[in-house]
Structure 1
């Protein structure tokens, strides 16, 4: 790979840009192979990139350059969707090697931070734009002599590279991408010219949010002159063609914030071709919006391209400024003014055209329009459907009885032939606040319930002719032994209701508090346990106001089951307390 003359003990190589990776302008689809499109007008795009090459220049068993890493700042801006101008500023921040010896000459490896050659990009779009299947562009790259002449980070001499590219995109939300380019790197007489080329394919997903890609790029040194030489050393590679493969991915978020990574091997032994290359970048490249004029976002049958309100379902209109927009709705009740009988007052739909869009109580008399016989006139409530909501007699308590005939005008009541009771509340025998006429349990103090069958009934205690029935079971706490029983506080509310029922029924003279058990224990144990529980309940009631003479405790063990003892559910039902009425007055 090298030829060396006798003499000097140490030589430094330079005057050639060793890095064969030349990144695309900001906004292009691929990392190294340029695209043909120039989308947008005055749209800025930029990125920072770090690319690292491994062993790009090797001599025998040693590497002249074993690591070369560039940090780049790259930016571009487009004009009139036809012209792109960009700049790339490279700085070699990592350079190292083995200082190998070739013959009697030691080659000094670069080991410092060095500026590369700044590049200016100019590209014009001849045909097609970003989302078109075929795009054609021509351009040129101009390299300025910002690197040192003895550097391998750049050539330190101006050069120019005309280029042509063809690229395209097939698909919208998920799309296939391709690009291909070729160019000619024209140098001065010190270095050979180069033919450059590249191609890439990829796919984007979810409206360009995620992209995967593969690209092949390289160049060929024209002629036989060595690109790197000194009076004592000439670099001659096995091949004059450099070729690399990169595979990578990009992620775009927040409308343009772009992250990218790529890696790949060198495929030839050309000068500057590494054994492997890795890179990473972060940048800003707004995603050009796809043409959605033929779609219908609001599903109103009017395509976005002619819909003046593309995100709000509307109707056709001869006025282009209103086409696809919702009809005027001044009161914002979602009923167009043209159909709204009350266009300035928020209302609700109504099959009656004269009431459509009007409030539920248009005259605000407290009587809903659906029940108001005079919806446009403020009136009063009436039991007569033909007069309900119409002007007339006042009924303060809205019980359907005019105040002039109501013996209790401020309290809702019921009709009575007795003028002194007409309009007054109906009798409430159990004094639970629920009139007997509405009380499903008129002789038992109860509670309100939306279910008419239980309205006015106790929650968990009912009285029948022979028993005070509880709707859930009493629970007990174990004492120091299995037979030492006390009532668990969780049952206090249940037994409180039992106590109140007993007090409300003085005609019940004697109640047997029965304790029952399942058959899990011995007969004697179950008999004793049930007796203890019955006595615990009796003791709870007598300490809270019930005359002990009215209560008798008796345990029946497992002799009176109400369900099978062969199942857990049956045994649970058999473990119970009952209040059986023994004697009434």
Structure 2
């Protein structure tokens, strides 16, 4: 058989016709790409992911799941490994856990201002004859009414009791809120340090009122921010009124001191 000098007189052989001569082919009788030294790519489960890269070589699965089948016991679109509630269907934004709806009114607890009484969605889950004084947001409880104090004092005015009673009720009906931070703010009139002390006293007074309504003390914290976090201009009487406010923030107890969000004027306080 005629051949070349560099092959010691032998011809170039490519038994499996894969373009790689037998002398360099690790699998000379099985066609395969040069990138795998002439050996065929192994894909036992025929899922398009090579066995060398397939975490589950004997079970077909998509490449984005490393060749393993997507296991979704509750059929909610989340793989069991990523599903916090693998046996109960729930939305992705809740890590696969179902919405809790204690009163079965179709309004999930996280936005239901009356979690223990059935009511329509357009009334925040409360019965039609009730006007809810608290609106639930992902990070805060919005009081539909101002929290008033005696002038230049820390004592809560009695006209704020209905609103605070609602705040206490909502906290008690939502044990999933680990900690509520009561944040009190003032306008910029007066000395900054005096304003901080005044706001701290007012936040503590609101916290104490909620405790008197059976809210566990460990679920409440009080912070006085003084004039440091305005939400409006202090150049007008309306702006100063908006800055005098009390907020109820839903926080992680392991987190740092909560930051009062910048938002449209909401519940407030009078100086």
TM-score (ref. length: structure 1) = 0.24
TM-score (ref. length: structure 2) = 0.49
Larger Rg, first or second structure (1 or 2):
1
Q: Quick check: which one's helix share is greater?
A: 2
Greater RCO (Cα-Cα under 8 Å, separation 6 or more):
2
